[in-house]
Each structure stands twice: as structure tokens, then as C-alpha cells.
């Protein structure tokens, strides 16, 4: 199948950090369809050869295992081309159309890896140049909008020139192998589904923690914040994967229909719940791996008086028959004590204790941990009686044990990465792992009261030292329910 992939923002950070390495891995694995062209588009004045040299130099900064040899890059570079464009200039889109007409392709992918403010301009100009035919697919990166109104405006414009089946709103978390195995665990096996409900589950925790600060994204991040950057998309998509009902089949709309139901079932915010169950923080100076790191307000590009949150902790519930009364906790932040993304499903303790346990809270031992990064796999924590047959007053004593399934060890290191999988799905026209417009709007609708409350809160985010797990208010929030974050139990 012949294809053209036009990468708007082809010299940008996302292009060389994520998209180009993913395309190369697909090429290396033999899964990238033959007869393809990859055309970088940007305002830089470069020739095809200069663009190839730029990408080659940038590959020196990706993970060693993902770097091409000289021979591999020589073959991959034959796919690469470049076109200088001013994305606000209609004449430049005519030049792009002429370039694509030189060799018509069966599939044309327009990957818009630009500033969000250019999304509507690019889509309108694509249509004006006649490049929105049925063979065209447009990929839109997050964030898609700054709030509900801007998200609706973008979607309305994009849908005016493209059908919903042509729009691929990307959330790379949905492409992670670990998230794919979350769906497989739930809907490909019968073991957990009977237990996946309020009668057996006490609480569910979603953690997406980063050691890094804002790096070179200070100006962007300062206008975005953790709630928009991580919760509205990644964290809520994980919550949907955990909370959704089994779809009737594996088709895109069947899956997205069930995710939408979860978003519509999230408990609405009230002034009381916003004050107690929506915690925001901002990192102060601290230590990471023994090295001093600056406070957020001292980062390059950040307003010295910034009130932008770098940490969020939320408590919510899914108000439906399956999950009524089960708290879902979400936390995410930068400059935390470790890089760790996982989902923790804590089961209720046995209703009648006939054994002794050294753990004060036996539900800590009855839990399923779905590791997303840097580990990728499942951990099942149980209580068992070991070789030591000590008894307390004639009652056997149990100890915690763990079953650990490491997917990288089981399936090998050559597994398909998130962007590689998603790019191949775009070329193949598979929408299963992409977000529909009504999902996005419902997610924005749920987070908007938090944004409004914080914009009117003169107190601002709570400070926390870099290298810790965030402000103490996040621990107090979960402790009010009698629970604790995994590192605190």
C-alpha cells in the first residue's frame, strides 16, 4: 500500500523525539508499508538532503537500541523528503498539493505536530487546497484546546472539512503495550471480570509520576499545567479503560461508546468536593538522585510569580451500578520521587479473618498492580502461609507474597512502542486507539469546574519539595477514606 505521511512541524521537538524514531522502528521491523514517502514540513529553509542530515543528527539523541546503523539510516533516508512551508500561506499548500500529485498515494496522512493554535488553520488550508479527499487522514496531537469552548471550536472546524473517520486524535498512552494488555486482561480472560466491581474492590489508584521537571517546555507548560497536560487526556483515558463495561466487539465505536459512558458517569463537582478532593501543587527546589534541582518558578520560560500547577491529586467516583461508592484516586506530577506510572486495584479484605497477618491493613496485600512505566507488566499481591509455621494463639500467620509478570521479559524487548503502533494504525485506518470528539468534550466538561475553581482561588498551588511525592494534602485526601498511596502503606 503506497502512502504519503506529511509531518507538519517536521523539525520540531516531537518530530525527532517521538515520531521519526517510531517511523524508523516500523521500517526496521518491516511493518511500515512499502512505497511510502515521509515529507517533513516546516519554515526552515532546507533541501531534502539537509533535512535527512538533520534527522540523522537528531537520532544520536534517542535511546541506543532505537538508533539506526549507517546502512539502516541510508535505506530509511530514501523515504524522507522536505518542503518549506509557511502554514498560514495558502500558496504553500498549493505547492504541497503539487508535490503530492507527482505520485498519487493510496493513503495520505497529515500529522499536525504543531502548536495547538495552528490546528484549525492547517485543516482549513488542507481543505482549501483540495487535500481533504477520502484517502486523507489527519492526526491531531494533544492538547486539543485549552478548555471546553476551544475544544468544541477546534472539533467543529475540523469536522467541517473532514469526516469523523478521517480524524485521528492521538493520545499516546492508548498505544502503550501495557495499556493494550490492560484491555486484554479485562476482556480476553474470564478471571478478573467477575471481581471487577464494587462488591470486591475497595478503591482504585492511578499514578503517573515523573522525576523530570519542565525541561525546555517551560513557556508551554506554564500556560497549560498538569491538569490539562496529563489528567484531561492520559489519566482519564486510563480511568475509562479500568471502569468501562465490556464492549460488544473490538470495533472502534463499540470501545469508544463504553469509554464515553464512563466519562458521563463521573460524579459532578460541587464546591465541597472541589475543596477536599481536588489538590494542586507546585514543586519547589529540592533534590533528585542526589542532585539539587531548581524550583518550578526558577525554570527557563516560567513566570517567576506563576500559579501553574505541576501536581494534581483528585478523588472521584463512577456513579453507576458497577462502581457505586468505589473511590478512584488520580495523581500526577513533575519532580516527584520517582518515574512511575501504574494503576493499583485494591480489593476488599476477607470478610471474616481466620488467619493472623503481620499487615495492619490486609487489603494492601490483596491488590493488582498494572505497571505502565518504566516497568511493564502485572503484579498480583496476596497473602500466603510460608515455610515458617509460627502460630499466634493457635492461629496460622500469613505473609505477603507477590506474583510478578514482566511483559518485557516475557515478550522480549522488540515490542511495538506506542507511537509506532499508533502511526501504523493511522496508515491502516484503524481508529480503535484514538479519541472521538464526544469523548474529548466530555473529559473537558468534567475538568472545567476544577479549572474555574482554581482560577478564582487566591491561595494558589501548594508547594512541595522536588524529589518528594507531592504536597501532604494529597495524602490527607486519601487518608480521609481510610486508605493510603502505595508508597505510604
Task: Give catalytic residue positions.
Answer: 234
Q: What is the DSSP string of 275-338?
A: HHHEEEEEEESEEETTEEE--GGGSTTS-TT----SEEEEEEEB-STTTTT-EEEEEEESSBSS
Q: Are 463 and 284 in contact (CB under 8 A)?
A: yes
Strand ranges (E), 187-244: 201-209
Q: What is the dihedral of CA 333, 334, 335, 341, to 10 degrees?
A: 60
Alpha helix (H) ranges present in 129-207? Answer: 148-161, 177-187
231: Cβ–Cβ under 8 A, 6 or more apart, which residues? 312, 314, 330, 332, 447
Burial of 482 (0-12, 13-18, 19+ CB in 10 A): exposed
166: Cβ–Cβ under 8 A, 6 or more apart, which residues? 132, 134, 136, 137, 138
Q: Are 343 and 330 in contact (CB under 8 A)?
A: no
Burial of 423 (0-12, 13-18, 19+ CB in 10 A): buried
**Number of other residues whose CB lies within 10 A of the CB of residue 299:** 24
Cis preceding linkage at 58, omega within 30: no
Closest alpha carbon to 61 in 9, 11, 18, 32: 18
Amino acid at each position: 500500500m503506497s502512502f504519503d505521511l506529511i509531518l507538519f512541524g517536521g523539525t520540531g521537538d516531537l518530530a525527532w523525539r517521538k515520531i521519526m524514531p517510531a517511523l524508523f522502528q516500523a521500517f526496521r521491523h518491516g511493518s511500515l508499508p512499502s512505497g511510502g514517502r515521509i515529507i517533513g514540513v516546516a519554515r526552515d529553509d532546507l533541501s531534502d538532503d539537509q533535512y535527512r542530515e538533520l534527522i540523522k543528527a537528531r537520532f544520536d539523541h534517542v535511546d541506543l537500541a532505537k538508533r539506526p546503523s549507517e546502512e539502516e539510516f541510508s535505506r530509511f533516508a530514501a523515504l524522507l523528503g522536505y518542503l518549506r512551508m509557511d502554514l498560514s500561506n495558502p500558496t504553500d499548500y498549493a505547492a504541497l498539493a503539487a508535490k503530492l500529485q507527482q505520485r498519487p498515494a493510496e493513503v495520505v496522512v497529515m500529522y499536525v505536530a504543531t502548536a495547538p493554535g495552528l490546528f484549525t488553520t492547517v485543516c482549513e488550508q488542507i481543505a482549501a487546497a483540495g487535500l481533504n479527499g477520502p484517502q486523507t487522514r489527519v492526526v491531531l496531537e494533544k492538547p486539543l484546546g485549552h478548555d471546553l469552548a476551544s475544544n468544541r471550536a477546534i472539533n467543529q472546524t475540523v469536522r467541517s472539512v473532514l469526516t469523523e473517520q478521517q480524524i485521528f486524535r492521538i493520545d499516546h498512552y492508548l498505544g502503550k503495550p501495557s495499556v493494550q494488555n490492560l484491555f486484554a486482561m479485562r476482556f480476553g480472560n474470564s478471571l478478573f471480570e467477575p471481581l471487577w466491581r464494587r462488591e470486591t474492590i475497595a478503591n482504585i489508584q492511578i499514578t503517573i509520576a515523573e522525576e523530570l521537571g519542565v525541561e525546555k517546555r517551560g513557556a508551554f507548560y506554564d500556560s497549560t499545567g498538569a491538569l490539562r497536560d496529563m489528567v484531561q487526556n492520559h489519566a482519564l483515558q486510563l480511568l475509562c479503560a479500568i471502569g468501562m463495561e465490556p464492549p460488544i466487539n473490538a470495533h472502534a465505536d463499540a470501545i469508544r461508546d463504553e469509554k464515553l459512558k464512563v466519562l458521563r458517569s463521573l460524579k459532578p463537582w460541587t464546591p465541597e468536593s472541589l475543596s477536599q478532593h481536588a489538590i494542586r501543587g507546585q514543586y519547589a527546589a529540592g533534590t533528585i538522585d542526589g542532585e539539587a534541582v531548581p524550583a518550578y518558578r526558577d525554570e527557563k520560560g516560567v513566570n517567576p510569580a506563576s500559579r501553574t500547577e505541576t501536581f494534581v491529586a483528585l478523588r472521584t467516583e463512577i456513579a453507576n451500578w458497577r462502581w457505586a461508592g468505589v473511590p478512584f484516586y488520580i495523581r500526577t506530577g513533575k519532580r516527584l520521587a520517582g518515574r512511575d506510572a501504574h494503576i493499583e486495584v485494591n480489593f476488599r479484605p476477607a470478610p471474616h479473618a481466620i488467619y493472623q497477618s503481620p499487615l495492619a491493613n490486609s487489603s494492601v496485600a490483596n491488590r493488582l498492580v498494572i505497571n505502565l512505566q518504566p516497568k511493564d507488566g502485572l503484579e498480583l499481591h496476596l497473602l500466603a502461609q510460608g515455610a515458617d509455621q509460627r502460630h499466634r494463639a493457635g492461629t496460622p500467620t500469613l505473609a505477603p507474597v507477590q506474583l510478578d509478570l514482566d511483559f518485557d521479559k516475557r515478550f522480549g524487548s522488540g515490542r511495538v512502542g506506542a507511537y509506532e503502533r499508533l502511526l501504523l494504525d493511522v496508515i491502516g485506518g484503524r481508529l480503535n486507539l484514538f479519541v472521538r470528539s464526544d469523548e474529548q468534550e466530555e473529559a473537558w466538561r468534567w475538568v472545567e469546574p476544577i479549572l474555574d475553581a482554581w482560577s478564582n482561588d487566591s491561595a494558589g498551588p501548594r508547594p512541595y519539595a522536588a524529589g518528594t511525592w507531592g504536597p501532604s494534602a494529597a495524602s490527607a485526601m486519601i487518608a480521609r477514606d481510610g486508605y493510603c498511596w502505595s508508597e505510604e502503606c
